[in-house]
Amino acid sequence: MYKVEDVGTNIRNHHAAKSHSITFRSSCLQQNQNPSPSQIFNNRKITFDQCEFCFSILMNDSLQLYKPRAPRDYCIYEVPYCPSRKSDGVYTPMLFSIGPIHYGKAELSIMEEQKRRYYEKFRSRIPDDSLEEFKSFLHREETRILGRYRYGCGTFSFQMVEFQRIVFNDSIFIFELLLGDHDEVNDGFLNETCEQNALIKRDLMLLENQLPYFILEHLYKLLSGYQSYPSLMNLSCKFFGLRMPKENSVQHFTDLARSSLVGVFPRDSERSNGRFMSLPTAKELKKLGVIFEPVVGGCVADMKVLSVKFIVRFFKFQIPRLEVNILSECIFQNVMAFEMCAYKSMMQCHVSNFLYLMGCLVYYEDDFNVLVTEKIISNKLGDGADVIKLFKRVFAGRVAHPDRDIWGVCEPLRSLVDY
């Protein structure tokens, strides 16, 4: 049985975390700047540079090679270090590692025994030949899987057999969590305490702690032939308490959180192209006569400003209702980090843009109280001061100033100040 007694002791600053990190560098490349393809494949240790080197030499060979990957294949990133970042703990797992980036850290090793327990439990759900088929799938798709990870130093030094074992065990571990949550199982780990459940969900939401979603989808197809469960997307959303995204294709759990928050935006050509301007705070807008209206069940894409009929310069500001809880900061920071790594244009960084705008509105506790009263913010974190501190920590991290006002809300609201 695992208990979480002191959450704070498990959070490491960035430099401490770096000291435990796996060194993503192959000794083969260190010793020989131009190793032969046979050296690389015999050692079964592949660096990103060597992938491209081998393919360029043997592109006409009949062997199945490690092909170079285009940047668009990346979806799981090591979060770049930023000197101004104040809360590195939001990117670091506290209970367990998923995937290769944090694998092998001493403070997470105790959870390997829980993963073994879940493996034995999962074997009762599915025949051994299906598990062997899943292993074969991981072997066939290892290049595709590797192509989803991007590390700061650009290289990867796990042996392929070890990498496949990590992905195999972590996939089963995730499934037992999803299925145990659906079956409301209390196994001494899952559903033991509310605090522990929150930490489990937190660790599964971290950008650096992900598996590509297509791996889970393949395992789910094998499982669904023997047991009846809701769709994998339904299981995932229920586990994290997320609304179903309007687009069914996601890359991993961090992307699932983003898709759930964002909704579906119009095409770029149909959006507002006005310049983003900082807004007055919520209290100031209230004094100027703005009506705040929550969009219950809405997404970031649903935010808009509507003119009130027959009244000059009087606006209704529709904002999707935002719940702030113990997991919010972790979700916000990791989704923003994903947007920063995955998208070239701020026009696509919808959650980052939304949080920047909310930070403009909620600057003082009086502003927070206005949005709580108007049911824009549902506060499950604590008092208003805690929420203000959360937004300031988010701003101290990596929220960039938006380039464009993608909602078209700035110009009408700013016009009230200038009127």
* Distance (Å, whole) CA 114 – CA 110: 8
Q: In this predicted model, what pLDDT tens digit does every residue of 234-258 receive, in sequence order? A: 999 999 999 898 777 899 999 999 9
Helix ranges (DSSP H) in 65-149: 111-123, 128-140, 142-146
Residue 282 lies inside a defined structural domain of this protein: yes
Give the total number of structural domains in the chain. 2
Boundary-marking domain end, from 215, 236, 261: 261
Same domain? For 230 and 375 the reply is: no
- 200 and 326 assigned to the same domain: no
In a domain? residue 1: no
pLDDT at 85: 55
Query: CB atoms < 10 A from the CB of 61, how many?
Result: 11
Domain check: are 245 and 118 in the same one?
Answer: yes
C-alpha 85, offset from chain centre: 18
Domain assignment present for 302? yes
309 occurs within a structural domain: yes
Same domain, 277 and 253: no
With tokens 């975390």, the residue in question is 17
Q: For 365-397, what is each residue's pLDDT tens digit?
A: 999 999 999 999 999 988 888 888 888 888 775
Residues 251 and 285 reside in one and the same domain: no
pLDDT bin (cut points 50, 70, 90) of residue 276 is confident
Residue 2 lies in a domain: no
For the purposes of burial, counting CB atoms within 10 Å of the CB of 309, is it exposed (0-12), middle (13-18) or buried (19 or more)? exposed
Strands 404-405 and 274-275, by their bridges, are antiparallel
147: nearest Cα among 63, 64, 73, 230: 73
In a domain, 155, yes or no: yes
Please give the Cα distance from 411 to 278 (Å, whole number): 10
- Tell me what the mean pLDDT of segment 86-98 comes to: 85
Beta bridge partners of 315: 307
Question: Helix-strand-coil percent breakdown of the chain, rounded to 5?
Answer: 50, 5, 40
- Residue 142 CB burial class (10 angstroms; 0-12, 13-18, ≥19): middle
Q: Based on the domain organization, do 203 and 117 belong to the same domain?
A: yes
34 and 155 share one domain: yes
> End of a domain among 244, 261, 278?
261
DSSP SS3 for 159: strand
204 is a domain residue: yes
Domain of residue 114 covers 7-261
Of 83-87, 180-184, 282-286, the range with the lowest mean pLDDT is 83-87
Tokens, residue 153: 């130093």
Q: Flag whether pLDDT at 2 surpasses 70.
A: no
144 and 22 in a common domain:
yes
- Which residues, 6+ apart, have CB-to-CB distance to 379 below 8 Å? 324, 368, 372, 387
Which of 237, 261, 285 is the endpoint of a domain? 261
Q: Convert the pLDDT of each residue in 317-357 to its tens digit.
A: 999 999 999 899 999 999 999 999 999 888 888 899 898 88
54 lies in the same domain as 195: yes
| 69, pLDDT greater than 90 | no
Mean pLDDT to the nearest integer, 393-416: 76
pLDDT of residue 133: 96
The mean pLDDT value of the chain amounts to 79
Sign, CA dihedral 87-90-91-94, equals positive
Q: Are residues 321 and 371 in the same domain?
A: yes
CA-closest candidate to residue 295, choices 316, 319, 317, 315: 319
State the Cα–Cα distance between residues 167 and 148, nearest whole angstrom. 13
Q: Quick one: 142 and 176 in the same domain?
A: yes
Q: What is the pLDDT of residue 284?
A: 94
Residue 320 resides in a domain: yes
Domain identity same for 151 and 29: yes
